[in-house]
Amino acid sequence: MKRNGLVLLLSGVIVLLGLVSGVTAEEGVTDTEIHIGQWGPQTGPAAAWGSVARGTDAYFKMINERGGIHGRKLIHHMFDDAYNPAKTKAGVKELQEGVGIFAWVGGVGTAPGLAVRDYLMERGVPWVGPSAGSRHWIDPPYKYLFAVYPLYEIEAKTLCRYAVANMGKKKIAIIYQNDDYGKNGLMGAKEELARSGLELVAEVPVNLTDGDLKPHVMKLKKSEAEVVLLWTTVKHALMTVGISKAMRFTPQFMSTSTCSDFPLMMHISKGAWEGVIAASFGELPDSDYPLMRTYKQEAFDQYAAKDERWGVFYSAGIVWAEPLVEAIRRCGPDLTRERLVQELEGLRDFKGISGNISYYPFDPNDPGCRQGQREVFLVQCLAGGKAKQLTDWATIE
């Protein structure tokens, strides 16, 4: 009898708790605020990518200045993880459990992201636009994780197709970093060339810590390549171009979007970067695209610190946040995470300052349902770091 009473009491409590959680709003959303979290290294080895989070911050401030979304202001909680995954996890947990974050945006780095991915997915917290190109985000796909960064193999394919079809080149070589990033580029290049019955004339791997690239460039020169794809870090890409010039080896260099900040590349290379063709996943900083100019004037000019630069990392912070903001807007006043996921899945050819973004209803067997952006375009570096657009937005599946 006593036992029955206890059971009754417990079930009563559970029902009450259910009612309570039923009437309270979604975590991180109040009548006036939406809490969005983001990590990004402001100190440590990757501090150069810190401008990504600052770009998102300025973008949110601009939206708030215009009145927010359905009367709610975006409260941006960004923290410095120094690119240390242990710190990323600590900070994410602190904000998620302390403040209550509705959704996460951006987040620089594969390793920091992987350290918190399971935590966020188990809790069902949406995360839009990890700031690193990696298959880890979409393969296997997760219901609450929406990737924006186009895969590196798409960039490689687009560059190769341009070299073969538009420039009539036949001898293409690649120097690639010996990891996930480099191998994705290698794979893309091989697949695309195979379509036109071609093969790479040289595949030169380079390790992150290699200090001297002369032997690597010698191999490239021996292969008599007309086009060399640079799938390395910025530092190694610059070294390759510099050493090649010294060796009087002058192929057409092509690089990934990670090296598409032309003013910066020209500055460091003292002009050697001129003529290089790069892929880009977002409108360039000095583009005339109207939305880009709006962001420059209303976000950057208003809210950036005085020594901030309107560069590709800074605007990338806006690129990651655009689909999230659009989906929140489409949710209307009744904002929940489930609704947000529905609205994100409903995005078709959404155009911000990156290529078109589309997501599809969740399918555990289709990584494509969570890969939003598939388009890149090609630009060439001109004197003074100016960029000449070579192609329109396009994708190659």
Partner 1 sequence: MDMKRDYYEDVQLCTSGVVVFWLVALLIGLAAFPFLASSYTLYMANFLAINVIVVIGLNILVGYAGQVSLGHAGFFAIGAYGTVILMSEAQLPFFAALVLAALIAAAFGFLLGLPALRLEGPYLAIATLGFGLTITQIIGRIELFGGRQGLHTPDLIIGPWHLESDRDFYFLLIPITVLLAIAARNLTKTKIGRALIAIRDAEIAAETLGVNIMGYKTLAFAISAFYAGIGGGLFAFVLRFIEPEIFTLLMSIMFLAMVVVGGLGSIMGSITGACLLGWLDLQLRNILEIPYLGTWLEALSQEWFSITGVSNIQLIVFGTIMVLIMLFEPLGLFGFWIRAKKYWKTWPF
- Contact residues for partner 1, defined by CB under 8 A: 42-43, 47, 50, 54, 79-80, 84-87, 89-91, 93-94, 96-98, 110-111, 114-115, 118, 136, 178-180, 207-209, 305, 307-308
Q: Which residues contact 275 (CB under 8 A, 6 or more apart)?
A: 252, 253, 380, 381
Nearer to partner 1, 180 or 203 (CB): 180
Nearer to partner 1, 47 or 394 (CB): 47
Minimum CB separation from partner 1 for residue 109, in Å? Answer: 9
Structure tokens at 77: 């909680």
Give helix 85-98 / helix 110-123 axis angle, nearest 10°: 30
Nearer to partner 1, 40 or 352 (CB): 40
Q: Extract long-range pairs of 180-183: CB within 8 Å, 24+ residues apart.
A: 180/110, 180/134, 180/135, 181/133, 181/134, 181/152, 181/231, 182/206, 182/231, 182/232
Nearer to partner 1, 178 or 380 (CB): 178
Could you tell me whether strands 145-146 and 172-177 are parallel, antiparallel, or unpaired per DSSP bridges?
unpaired
Minimum CB separation from partner 1 for residue 205, in Å? Answer: 11
Nearest to 322 by CA among 101, 144, 149, 115: 149
Q: Which residues partner with 119 through β-bridges?
A: none
Q: Beta-carbon neighbour count of residue 109 at 10 Å?
A: 23
Nearer to partner 1, 139 or 226 (CB): 139
Nearer to partner 1, 32 or 43 (CB): 43
- CA-to-CA dists, residue 155 to 49, 78, 219, angstroms: 21, 30, 24
Minimum CB separation from partner 1 for residue 53, in Å? Answer: 10
Minimum CB separation from partner 1 for residue 283, in Å? Answer: 23
Minimum CB separation from partner 1 for residue 78, in Å? Answer: 10
Minimum CB separation from partner 1 for residue 94, in Å? Answer: 5
